Amino acid sequence: EAGDDDDDDAEDEEDAYSKAQRKHQAVVQEILDKEDEQYKEERRRKKWGEFADAKSTDDIRRVEKSIKAKISEENKRKARLASQAGVQLEVLEAQDTVSDDNGNIRISAGSTTNWYSKMDEDLQKEWEDMESGNEKMADGQQGTSDTVQIDGKIVSRDALQGVRVGSAGGWSLEIFPGDFVVHRKYGIGRFERTCLRPRSKLSEQEQKARDERRGEILKQELEKISGGVTADDIQRIRSKFGTEEDTDPISNPQSTVLEISYADGIVHVPVDRAYRLSRYRAKDAVVKPKLSRVRGEAWKKAKQRVEANTLELAQDVLALYATRETLQRQPFDPEKEDEVKKFGATFAFEPTPDQARCFEDVENDMVWRSRPMDRLVCGDVGFGKTEVAMRALYRAVANGRQAALLAPTGVLASQHFKNVVKRMGPGTPFNKNIALLRGGMSKRTKAGAELRKQILNGKVDVVVGTHSLISKDMVYKNLGLLCIDEEQRFGVKQKERLKLICEGIDVLTLSATPIPRTLQMSLSGIRDTSTIRSPPPMRKPTITYVQDFSKDVVKMAIGNELERGGQCYYVVPRISMLQDAEDVIKECFPDIKVVWAHGRMSRDTAEENVASFAEGNYDVLLATTVIENGVDIPSVNTIIIQESQIFGMSTLYQLRGRVGRSDMQGYAYLLHREESITEQAMMRLQAIGELSELGSGFDIANRDLEIRGAGSLLGTEQSGMAARVGFDLYMRMLKKSIRLLRGLDLPLVPRTNVLLPKQEGSLEIKKKTKEGIITVNAIQIPESYIPDEKDRKVEETAARLAESTSALVELTNSWKKKYGPVPSALQNKLKTLHLHACTRKLGIDLVGLMDNGDGRIDCILRSPGLRPRHWGIIVPLLNRGVPPKGLDVIFPARFTLSGDEQEIVGGRKVNLHELLEDPSLDEDADNWDALDQEEVEAMKEISSAYTVKSLDEVDIELYPRFVIKDFTPKKCVDQLLQVLLPVAKVVNEKQEDEKEAAKTAAELREKQELLRTRKKINDAKERDKFLMN
């Protein structure tokens, strides 16, 4: 019994212990639950931000409205403060799709579970339950929340608003939160937001006004307090000064800044210093760049390495310039230009301003330069590039040379052939023999062999064709011009073959979207480029949709086009997909008429099908990319592109350009499959969707350059260096390096427009004949001096295009040896040639007389490309280091260090420091972009100067210029030569020295690279030999 009592006591003790344990656990659990609730509330406030107190859909919408109003008011203040700083600021709507594309929205890395995961899931479910109320609104319509999640945090969509900032100085920047940017001083960072920050530096007057205003505010606030004022009240009011609560612009002077994140901190860049930023663009845009560190020397060293690389590339560029100048060919006759103008008059439309400029550029290259033309004409689809080519073709055949037009596809070649025949073929006033060399016409066929024979014998004036034109068995009698349409469609082998064929002949390349390497060559100045950006009248931008593929979209797109009486293109990437695509179309529209076109159809079938479709016999043309070029049907204004993620940007752009070629609105549907799309493909589609304005082909190519990289330039890889600092900064550094090496980078003027009395000094003079007024060459060698007509023409051309007075002297000395003393009449005419040799060297495009206001006459010599740094280099090389007496130079204010117009008087000592400190060489200056663009625009002014009839048409005060005061309008050429000859002579000598230095540096580097390569090979051989032993 005693034992039983002991057991009962033990059980009672155990029950008491268990109760105490349970009570203790309950207390601990209560504490843990309270802590969990506290943690959850903290987590809610961290993740939900300003939405943390929301309990329902109405609460969410109320907070959204409040945030939107707050951000809107803040944006107005940002814009106002930016305007006061001389900067235009425009807020951009948040992007429609929230993704991590291009770094715009960042996604947290890693997927490991942490102890917050369960809490985050609960909060996410709670938010979704509240947000689901948005689906049913009071009016029965579906609503959408104006919130997004970034790094797991809920924010208003307005927090993703981008910004566009710029100044009248010419620079501009457009960025969205998350975009990677490059600051020239701090390196690669990530743009987070725009915000208002107190100004750190105030003038004494501003500090005094701030203190007085704060005193007034303190007094006003204290007067509102009843029952006595305490020290705490005063401290409370003062503590708000200089904070976000202080919205008074005098008490709290603020500035608008861009917040940039770096690896080790945040930098706030004032908007008036935003010109130091550029978007980060490099080859592999999919791989996000590593953020730079603000502290340390890493960024500075990276820039130094890139700068050294750009100097090497600049030497290569200048060596290439020098090599190009050594290439010579017989230029085309200027006296034939009247014929070319008559041909141009048959163009059915009024040329756009950009077209007219392209016509002049090509004429200058073909007629007024002795080196072969190599020009890229970049213009939007349907903007008139073909007419530029058409006039160049006619110029060639009018001069007795053959011309060839190369197209990438048979469809496009056929289209060009029809147009050329219509404009200059048999039955027209010009009656030229035009031929088409298409696929299937090899030298083994009867037709192919016969046509090749005619081309070899010179019976064909213009030949249009595809790759056969550059085949090894193709021989021309006298090829003078090759036009290449859509250069980006030709492969590496064709390009290498073109290099062999094109040596010594003029080449004109047309492209809406040049390949990245070509674009980089044009941007760096290696290749001459003309751009057509002005659209034809009545053209509308094509509306572009980028979305997932579905039958409903196909049915809607085709149905809408058929309802307005139009036709559609339906494009697939592969021939094997055509049947499935037709099944989809027939399922939506059983009675619709569909016709196919692809590259493997029997000869002429594709062209015949396209022609039948153009005549209106079918509703839909179902095709591969064979219709990418050359198909121009105004009645087709909708295009559906299936599997659009497979196509490149250039192809997508060309295909979209097939529609909207009339005054009807065009529509393009870029359909893709989400499961098979890559990030690069998404970036391409997004770029195409964004760049839908007319004339955006060059911008498309630029974005393609950003996504794909530039590849190899001049045989060396530049992409890695561009990735270190971003493409924009790399090109800026390259341009600066070229300018530093080309100290005298005065643009060479093909021909100067001399507007002196009685046509004195002009190379071309107007003469009245029975047929009307014609243009003739002012410098004609007498037949008695050089009897042979062919020799006479060659010598006249050589004299007309002499690029320096020394070259002209050498030429006349050779005449004396061959033909005897130069006749006195010809000697007087040679003075005009010496004048033009001087103006070419000095970049003078326009010469004329102007009344200086007090009854005296000044001679004005406009030189758009002349900069203070040029004059600073030239003057020390002149006799006694002084400019010629009587030759003054005037630079407008925007080009000078002082910011005022600067006149440098001839015959006096010059302050070289002021001249050599040229703002256009300071890449950190806020007006660098504007000055850089003006360097480009200077060449455009030069190309169009010959259309000027009088100096009154030109606002001469805007341009750098030489001035000869108190000019006597007698023996004008002699007066001009007296002051220009010494200057032109030193410029020519200096430029020749610079060319030789560049060539020598490039050759030396090549030899060093060869030695390094040989050493590596020898070291490898020695190592292998050692291992074998």
d(CA 572, CA 594): 14
- Tokens of residue 418, six digits: 């029809």
- Per-position DSSP letters for 836-848, written without gaps between them: HHHHHHTT--EEE
Residue in the block written with tokens 């009592």: 5
Query: For 311-370, what is each residue's pLDDT tens digit?
Result: 887 777 777 767 767 778 888 988 888 899 999 999 988 888 888 889 988 999 999 888
Q: What radius of gyration do the chain's Cα atoms show? A: 36
- Per-position DSSP letters for 917-979, written without gaps between them: S-GGG-TTSTTHHHHHHHHHHHHHHHHHGGG---GGGS-GGGS-EEEESS--SSSHHHHHHHH
Report whether pLDDT(136) > 60: no
| pLDDT, position 83 | 82
Query: For 242-252, what is each residue's pLDDT tens digit?
Result: 887 787 888 88
- Amino acid, single-letter form, for residue 347: F
- Tokens of residue 615, six digits: 């005549």
Q: Which of 173-182, 290-299, 603-612, 875-884 comes out lowest in average pLDDT?
A: 603-612
Angle, helix 972-1028 to helix 727-741, in steps of 10 degrees: 120
- Mean pLDDT rounded to a whole number for the chain: 79
Report whether pLDDT(284) > 80: no
Per-residue pLDDT band for 433 (boundaries 50, 70, 90) equals very high
Report whether pLDDT(108) > 50: no
pTM reported for the whole predicted model: 0.69
Nearest Cα to 780, choosing from 334, 291, 151, 163?
334
Other Cβ atoms less than 10 A from the Cβ of 353: the count is: 11
Nearest Cα to 413, choosing from 469, 461, 334, 476?
469
Residue 52: DSSP 8-state = T
Nearest Cα to 278, choosing from 207, 175, 203?
175
d(CA 282, CA 706): 5
Which residue(s) pair with 379 in the sheet? 532
Looking at residues 677-693, what average pLDDT do you find? 63
Other Cβ atoms less than 10 A from the Cβ of 260: the count is: 26
Most confident of 543-552, 681-690, 812-821: 812-821
Residue 967 phi, psi (nearest 5):
-80, 135
Per-residue pLDDT band for 110 (boundaries 50, 70, 90) equals very low
Work out the percent of the chain whose per-residue pLDDT is above 70: 80
Looking at residues 695-704, what average pLDDT do you find? 48
| pLDDT, position 918 | 56
- Per-position DSSP letters for 273-295, written without gaps between them: GGGGEEE---S-SSSPPPPPPSS
Work out the percent of the chain whose per-residue pLDDT is above 90: 17
| pLDDT, position 143 | 43
Pairing outcome for strands 162-166 and 636-641: unpaired
Q: How far is CA 415 from the centre of its chain?
A: 30
Residue 283, CA distances (Å) to 197, 302, 513, 978 in order: 35, 17, 17, 53
d(CA 904, CA 913): 13
d(CA 267, CA 273): 12
Top-confidence residue, 536 or 70:
70
Collect contacts of 890-895 with beta carbons under 8 A, ≥24 apart: 890/960, 890/961, 890/963, 891/866, 891/867, 891/960, 892/957, 892/958, 892/959, 892/960, 894/927, 894/930, 894/931, 894/934, 895/867, 895/868, 895/919, 895/920, 895/931, 895/960
Residue 211, CA distances (Å) to 201, 207, 244, 256 in order: 15, 6, 17, 22
